């Protein structure tokens, strides 16, 4: 008997590689070497499967966010870990698969909006705290910085396919450098932190 | 008698405000309170006028670039001044007017390509020199950084209309912060340089 996890893992691989539209339940059954009937006994439709995927992604995201918030005190360490978590998600999931799923299924869209909204609240709060603790330069405008960070992150997300070699180098210069630029190095040495963390985010 | 400069200045104001397409020679004559005939005696066509504008913009750009290269030794000071020069041009000229003109007139396109190509050569050279002189962190990849810088600069250029209030604040967080992030602060304190320079770039 095939497990839900096996189906989900294979589905994610196929969707991320070929996109939401190009992959149907037939392709998936073939790839898993099971009959279509077996597959439909576990997931009654493609929508059902996609929703289960996003439920899984969304709860895995929440868990990792909680882990960061609970295990760390230092606000800029939290922010850096958040940023790397997003990088990891971008590397694992194909951005156009995410966008397409959000457009196709209202429930997926609401998962994504929920994640985005929560993240925004958390990050802006962390950055304000970092500024109060003098980890950030006193002339930093947290809201402006956050908007710019999101804009650049989305540009990275949309323009750099995760499989392009060197995308970690680009991430470093595109996403980490602007954060480094607003830090007070004496209070938070982001490059040292980054170099030690990045190895575990592949 | 009306001078070429008066016509050019007024044309630039109108084109930047309303766009290339929306402004014709009639509008310009009316705005300058001269007859259409008088205007056509100076510029025989709209194309003629637009080309003269870009010739002027292009030679003013070259002059200011030469001034920077000749008056400064410090590579990161040069790079910062270049960046501010571009910011000034973006603030003065409407980006969509630039893009539209480049699409409409081949000669304008070639002016713009020429400026872009020259600038790329100069900036990459300066950044390499800065790295050799330890103004930049040793792990900076100059080519990757330059590409990211261009991508972000273009996003700023396209998304932030110069007349939006706070665009200087955005420029600081979006364009200067990433440069600050790759500098060795002990060798080049970009924020101090920036704060003293920005006042003269309005």
State whether A174 and B155 contact (CB < 8 Å).
Answer: no
State whether A38 and A81 are in the same domain: no
Mean pLDDT of B74-90: 92
Whether A152 contacts B156, CB under 8 Å: no
State whether A181 and B185 contact (CB < 8 Å).
Answer: no
State whether A58 and A142 are in the same domain: yes
Of B144, B145, B181, the CB nearest to A181: B181
State whether B64 and B29 are in the same domain: no
Whether B43 contacts B84, CB under 8 Å: no
Mean pLDDT of A112-118: 90
| pLDDT computed for residue A202 by the predictor | 58
Of the residues B145, B148, B190, the best mutation for testing chain A's interface (the one with the most A CB atoms within 10 Å of its CB) is B148
Q: Taking 50 as the threshold, does the pLDDT of residue A173 lie above it?
A: yes
Whether B101 contacts B54, CB under 8 Å: yes
Q: So what's the ipTM on this one?
A: 0.84
Which residues in chain B have their CB less than 8 angstroms from residue A179's CB? Answer: 177, 181
Mean pLDDT of B77-105: 88
State whether B155 and A152 contact (CB < 8 Å).
Answer: yes
Q: Taking 60 as the threshold, does the pLDDT of residue A58 lie above it?
A: yes
State whether A148 and B173 contact (CB < 8 Å).
Answer: yes
State whether A34 and A57 are in the same domain: no
* Per-residue pLDDT tens over the stretch B16-59: 888 899 999 999 999 999 999 999 999 999 999 999 999 999 99
For residue A74, the number of C-alpha atoms closer than 13 Å in the C-beta half-sphere is 11
Nearest residue to B74 (alpha-carbon basis) of B126, B29, B33: B126
Beta bridge partners of B183: B136
State whether A66 and A162 are in the same domain: yes
Tokens (6 digits) for B96: 């969509």
State whether B74 and B33 are in the same domain: no
A1 class by beta-carbon count within 10 Å (0-12 exposed, 13-18 middle, 19+ buried): exposed
| pLDDT computed for residue B2 by the predictor | 87
State whether A36 and A99 are in the same domain: no
Of the residues B173, B179, B182, B188, the best mutation for testing chain A's interface (the one with the most A CB atoms within 10 Å of its CB) is B173
Structure-derived torsion over alpha carbons of residues A176, A178, A182, A183, reported in degrees to the nearest 10: 10
| pLDDT computed for residue B56 by the predictor | 92
Q: Taking 70 as the threshold, does the pLDDT of residue A30 lie above it?
A: yes
Nearest residue to A39 (alpha-carbon basis) of A4, A71, A13: A4
Number of domains in chain A: 2
State whether A72 and A109 are in the same domain: yes
DSSP for A157-199 reads HHHS-TTSTTHHHHHIIIIIHHHHHHB-TTT--HHHHHHHHHT
* Per-residue pLDDT tens over the stretch B65-78: 999 999 999 999 99
Largest CA distance in chain A: 62
Boundary of a domain, candidates B11, B27, B44: B44
DSSP assigned state of B198? H
State whether A29 and A64 are in the same domain: no
* Per-residue pLDDT tens over the stretch B160-202: 655 554 578 889 999 999 999 999 999 999 999 999 888 776 5
Mean pLDDT of A38-66: 94
Domain at B69, CATH number: 1.10.357.10
Range with lowest mean pLDDT among A40-54, A67-81, B109-123, B146-160: B146-160
State whether B141 and A173 contact (CB < 8 Å).
Answer: yes
State whether B125 and B194 are in the same domain: yes
| pLDDT computed for residue B165 by the predictor | 47
Mean pLDDT of A26-40: 95
State whether A16 and A108 are in the same domain: no
Q: Taking 90 as the threshold, does the pLDDT of residue A121 lie above it?
A: yes
Whether B186 contacts A189, CB under 8 Å: no
The Cα–Cα gap between B17 and B51 comes to: 18
- Domain range holding B69? 53-198
Mean pLDDT of A89-103: 83
Tokens 């109108």 correspond to B14
Whether A79 contacts A125, CB under 8 Å: no
């Amino acid at each position: 008997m095939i497990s839900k996890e096996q189906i989900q893992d294979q589905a994610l691989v196929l969707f991320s590689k070929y996109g939401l539209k190009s992959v149907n339940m037939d392709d998936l059954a073939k790839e898993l070497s099971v009959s279509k009937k077996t597959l439909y006994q576990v997931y009654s439709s493609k929508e059902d499967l996609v929703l289960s995927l996003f439920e899984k992604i969304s709860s895995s995201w929440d868990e990792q966010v909680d882990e960061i918030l609970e295990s760390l005190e230092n606000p800029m360490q939290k922010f850096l870990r958040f940023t790397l978590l997003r990088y990891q998600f971008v590397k694992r999931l194909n951005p156009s698969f995410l966008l397409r799923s959000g457009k196709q299924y209202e429930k997926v869209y609401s998962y994504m909006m929920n994640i985005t909204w929560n993240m925004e609240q958390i990050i802006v709060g962390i950055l304000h705290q970092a500024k109060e603790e003098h980890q950030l330069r006193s002339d930093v405008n947290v809201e402006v910085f956050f908007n710019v960070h999101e804009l650049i992150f989305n540009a990275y997300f949309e323009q750099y396919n995760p499989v392009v070699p060197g995308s970690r180098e680009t991430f470093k210069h595109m996403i980490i450098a602007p954060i480094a630029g607003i830090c007070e190095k004496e209070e938070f040495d982001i490059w040292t932190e980054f170099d030690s963390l990045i190895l575990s985010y592949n």
